[in-house]
């Protein structure tokens, strides 16, 4: 094993499947992989995905990018896509990043409160947060582990470790639904379960646990303006006194995806500016 | 009271028994029918506490950093009662932000190493020595309860301790020794729990959050914002946990850390 940083953290030539590839965090994860000469299979639901992968194809070449637009809530269609990919690709990295942050999942609407959460909003969180990751783990991870090592990276959240503080959201339009916390905590358990049961077959499963990374970049349902008081409140709660920039997950992603973390499995890697330590 | 929670006739040693929470632990033991033995370096305070607690409670000088005094205490307990059923390791320095002299002497850069050493001597070595002196005499079914802190789980938020008008590099802080001691106590709890499991002695720890003790209103206002229940603890709110951990009510629990912090560490 080479101890030179550029070899140690190398993902060159590896194929990575990333779900939620065009979201605020997802697209930065994909770019990180592409910038480091990995191949990306970008899976997502929205039309934004096609624009993003078209741009990446232009920059990194058609060989580097494979796009699969699929409604992941349609379990049959989603598993068919995963089956097809597992049969035709040698995937070494799986990044379970997708989560529905829209109003139907209870984000920033009354159906996102503990009092008002609907069955549909619960199911969207649990489906997106746990089932999607479980299906890629089973269909892709399960097939790939016969061929060699696989690194599964589940993107969780600090809200899987600690609860949102209601003071943060007081008087504002933002609401973080209870299903999100429940799902992200469940995802951490799935991570450990996978790590435990598939450890001997060369599969590593770890969670990447981001703290406050508000989407101040574009106009998605989960976007927030830079000068919104929510952002100021988030900054105040971290030890570093600021929110994270999505680029600040790149190092952790490369660490988890590469051989640099070859003895690490079942771990929750927390990148939260110190949110959970005070 | 449910029989399982009873400490009827049981002798329970409480180190640091003259302190704010030490007295509460003693009252908890007494309420459950036990006999608290109040140990402290402050003998006058310990005797006052024993008098207030009643229920056969008595006090004795004990310095947890001096194993010889602990052995004398053990001999006296055996002489008076013929037994010791439980130990509450409560003695600890709880350095305030100005404890080491001038305000900024608590800062990492200026903290006298002698103060840090003293924090470890009392808070960690003291728990170790009291546990081995008293724990060796505790019979099967007995219990050791170590007192940790919410600061065993999280770091102090130093913004709480700021004083307006004091320059940046001179702001007082909650010193590092306390965090290290309390985190260490959680580790020692797990270690002792497996070490003495075959003797039938259970070892658990209790992590209390901040207790109302006449702190400045501004500090309290800032602190309670960080606590889901929106308030600091009343001193008597750990009594239930003490009785639970000392008694047979927790007979299958060992090596655990019971966190009672108003929710401070859950968000």
Range A95-127 burial, b when 16+ CB lie within 10 A, else e: bbbbbbbbbebbbbbebbbeeebbeebbebbbb
pLDDT at A245 over 80: yes
Tokens of A105: 């999942």
> Is the CB of B225 less than 8 angstroms away from the CB of A167?
yes
Instruction: Provide residues of B within 8 Å CB-CB of chain A.
Output: 154-157, 225-226, 228, 265-267
Q: Is the dihedral of CA B209, B212, B214, B217 positive or negative?
A: positive
In this model, does residue A1 exceed pLDDT 90? no
pLDDT digits (tens, 9 = 90+) for B178-189: 999 999 999 999
Q: Which of A74, A189, A196, A197 is nearest to A127 (CA)?
A: A74
Out of B154, B225, B228, the one facing A278 most closely (by C-beta) is: B154
Which pLDDT band holds residue B96 (cuts at 50, 70, 90)?
A: confident
Residues of B with Cβ-Cβ distance to A239 under 8 angstroms: 155
C-alpha neighbours within 13 Å on the C-beta side of residue B93: 25
Q: Is residue A275 part of a domain?
A: no
Please report the pLDDT score of residue B97 as a whole number.
83
Closest CB to B267 among A162, A239, A274: A162
* B11-15 and B86-89 strand pairing: parallel
B154/A164 touch (CB, cutoff 8 Å), yes or no: no
Kindly list the residues from chain B whose CB atom is less than 8 angstroms away from the CB atom of residue A165.
228, 267
| pLDDT one-digit tens code per residue, A202-243 | 999 999 999 999 999 888 888 899 889 999 999 999 989 999
Q: What is the pLDDT of residues B138-184, one digit of tens each?
A: 999 999 999 999 999 999 999 999 999 999 899 999 999 999 999 99
> Bigger pLDDT: A5 or A116?
A116
Instruction: Give the mean pLDDT of B17-39.
Output: 97
The full set of domains in chain B, from first to last, is: 3-259 (3.40.50.720)
- pLDDT value, residue A98: 98
**Interval A64-115: pLDDT, tens:** 999 999 999 999 999 999 999 999 999 999 999 999 999 999 999 988 999 9
Condensed to tens digits (0 to 9), the pLDDT of residues B200-220 reads: 999 999 999 999 999 999 999
Q: How confident is the model at residue B1 (pLDDT cuts 50, 70, 90)?
A: low
| CA distances to A65, A105, B122, B161, B177 from B105, in Å | 58, 51, 19, 14, 13
- Contact assignment for B266 to A277 by CB distance below 8 Å: no
Q: Say yes or no: ipTM exceeds 0.90.
A: no
The answer to whether residue A110 sits within a structural domain is yes
Place of tokens 């065993």: B152
Report the domain count for chain A.
1
Res. B102 pLDDT band, cuts 50 70 90: confident
- What are A25-40's pLDDT values in tens digits? 999 999 999 999 999 9
| Average pLDDT for chain B | 95
Domain of residue A18 covers: 5-270
pLDDT digits (tens, 9 = 90+) for B115-145: 999 999 999 999 999 999 999 999 999 999 9
Interior/surface letters B138-153, b for 16+ CB within 10 angstroms, e for the rest? beeebbbbbbbbbbbb
Torsion of Cα atoms, A108 then A114 then A116 then A120, to 10°: 80
Domain at A25, CATH number: 3.40.50.720
Task: Show residues of chain A in contact with B155, CB under 8 Å.
Answer: 239, 274, 277-278
Specify the 3-state DSSP secondary structure of B198: helix
* pLDDT-based confidence at residue B114 (cuts at 50, 70, 90): very high
């Amino acid at each position: 094993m080479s101890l030179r940083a550029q070899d140690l953290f190398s993902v060159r030539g590896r194929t990575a499947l990333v779900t939620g590839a065009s979201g605020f965090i997802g697209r930065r994860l994909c770019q990180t992989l592409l910038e480091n000469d990995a191949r990306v299979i970008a899976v997502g639901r929205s039309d934004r995905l096609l624009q993003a992968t078209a741009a990446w194809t232009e920059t990194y070449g058609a060989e580097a990018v494979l796009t699969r637009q699929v409604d992941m809530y349609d379990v049959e269609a989603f598993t068919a896509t995963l089956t097809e990919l597992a049969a035709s690709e040698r995937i070494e990295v799986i990044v379970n990043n997708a989560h529905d942050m829209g109003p139907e999942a209870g984000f920033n609407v009354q159906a996102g409160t503990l009092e008002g959460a609907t069955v549909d909003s619960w199911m969207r969180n649990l489906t997106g947060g746990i089932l999607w990751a479980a299906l890629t783990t089973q269909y892709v991870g399960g097939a790939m582990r016969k061929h060699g090592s696989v690194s599964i990276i589940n993107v969780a959240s600090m809200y899987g470790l600690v609860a949102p503080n209601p003071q943060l959201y007081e008087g504002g339009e933002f609401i973080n639904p209870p299903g999100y916390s429940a799902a992200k905590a469940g995802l951490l358990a799935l991570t450990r379960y996978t790590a435990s049961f598939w450890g001997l077959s060369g599969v590593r499963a770890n969670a990447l646990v981001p703290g406050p990374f508000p989407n101040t970049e574009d106009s998605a349902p989960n976007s927030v303006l830079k000068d919104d008081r929510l952002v100021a409140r988030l900054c105040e709660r971290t030890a570093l006194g600021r929110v994270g920039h999505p680029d600040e997950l790149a190092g952790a992603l490369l660490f988890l995806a590469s051989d640099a973390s070859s003895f690490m499995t079942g771990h929750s890697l927390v990148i939260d500016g110190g949110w959970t330590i005070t | 009271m449910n029989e399982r929670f009873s400490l009827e006739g049981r002798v329970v040693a409480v180190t640091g028994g003259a302190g704010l929470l030490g007295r509460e632990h003693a009252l908890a033991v007494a309420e459950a029918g036990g006999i608290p033995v109040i140990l402290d370096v402050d003998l006058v305070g310990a005797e006052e506490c024993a008098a207030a607690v009643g229920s056969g409670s008595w006090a004795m000088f004990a310095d947890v950093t001096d194993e010889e005094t602990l052995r004398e205490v053990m001999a006296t307990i055996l002489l008076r009662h013929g037994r010791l059923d439980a130990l509450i390791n409560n003695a600890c320095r709880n350095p305030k932000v100005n404890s080491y002299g001038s305000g900024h002497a608590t800062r990492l850069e200026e903290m006298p190493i002698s103060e840090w050493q003293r924090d470890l001597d009392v808070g960690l070595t003291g728990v170790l020595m009291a546990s081995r002196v008293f724990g060796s005499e505790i019979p099967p079914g007995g219990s050791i309860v170590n007192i940790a802190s919410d600061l065993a789980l999280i770091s102090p938020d130093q913004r709480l301790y700021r004083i307006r008008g004091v320059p940046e590099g001179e702001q007082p802080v909650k010193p590092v020794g306390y965090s290290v001691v309390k985190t260490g106590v959680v580790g020692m709890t797990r270690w002792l729990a497996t070490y003495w499991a075959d003797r039938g002695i259970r070892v658990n720890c209790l992590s209390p959050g901040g207790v109302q003790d006449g702190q400045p209103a501004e500090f309290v206002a800032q602190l309670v914002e960080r606590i889901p229940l929106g308030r600091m603890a009343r001193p008597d709110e750990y009594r239930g946990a003490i009785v639970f951990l000392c008694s047979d009510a927790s007979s299958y629990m060992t090596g655990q850390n019971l966190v009672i912090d108003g929710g401070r560490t859950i968000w």
